[in-house]
Amino acid sequence: MSTAGNPRILMCPPDHFGIEYEINPWMSIQQGSDPERAAGQWRALERTLEDLGVAIDLMTPEKGLPDLVFTANAGLVYRDTFIASRFRFGVRQGETPHFEAWGRARGFEVLTPPEGMNFEGAGDALFCGETLFAGYRFRSDVRSHHWVGERLGVEVLPMELVDPRYYHLDTCFCPLEAGVAVYYPGAFDDYGRAVIRGRIPTLIEVRAEEAQSFSCNAVVVGRTVVLNQGAPALAADLQRLGYATRTLELSEFIKSGGSAKCLTLRVDGEEAAAWKAAGSAASP
């Protein structure tokens, strides 16, 4: 269901967002989050994307599902197919029926991985060109990635994540266009680093201190990259390659282990990434 014209992104307002459990090293119930500040940061991201020409679809927030706001984990969109996530942790499994219903309402063919497989959508599966790069270990598993590749008829390259702070692929890897990507080498094992270096000609390596600010968890709209503040070296590297940057404060969501990319899902398909979307280029 690729759409013509501007990119389309799914977001979910943070009406019920909060840290109600701990399923990654960033989450602390004791620390919690500030609801008013989170709402302001989410609205700033929404306004920034709209200013860049993105059409926003909205999910309805649901009480008791605080992480529904992280729509990147809804599943993976590919052409007319939506593969819904099958979450590893029980506290998030209640999100899947809502995402499946959204996909059906949008007219997608909705598929869900079989029981016994874990797959957390665009959090762990990102296209760079025609190849699907897939992270596994902490949330998704290798079998689910192979299943997705077979259903979609695409090449899948599974890579093991080794640092629990970077539990999803989108926390440490960000495709910019075919053959170009940002990544944090320390999140991958030797094989994963070799796969990325061997298959993607132009790479920006993120420094460890900037990776911790979730700088890889960015949204690409044409030649503009929207990312959390606190990564001046990455911003400079992007600008040297001809990309504009928009930096935002997303601290309340980082407390839960997510940033700009986690808060978004490409409705027009992850494979129709920004470099393929007509009219999506924008200047700062």
The string of DSSP letters for 175-219 reads: EEETTEEEE-GGGB-HHHHHHHHHH-SEEEEPPHHHHTTTTTS-E
Nearest to 178 by CA among 73, 81, 270, 45: 270
Nearest to 243 by CA among 281, 205, 216: 281
Compute the half-sphere exposure of residue 217: CA atoms within 13 Å on the CB side of its CA: 35
Assess whether 98 carries a catalytic annotation: no
Assess whether 262 carries a catalytic annotation: yes
Residue of 12, 128, 168, 172 with catalytic role: 168
How far apart CA 232 and CA 138 sit, in angstroms, is 29
Nearest to 74 by CA among 277, 232, 262: 262
Residue of 128, 172, 216, 262 with catalytic role: 262
Residue identified by tokens 């979730």 is 214
Nearby residues of 280 by Cβ (< 8 Å), 6 or more positions away: 6, 7, 52, 53, 54, 221, 222, 274
Through-space distance between the first and last CA atoms of the chain, rounded to whole angstroms: 29
Known catalytic residues are 168, 262
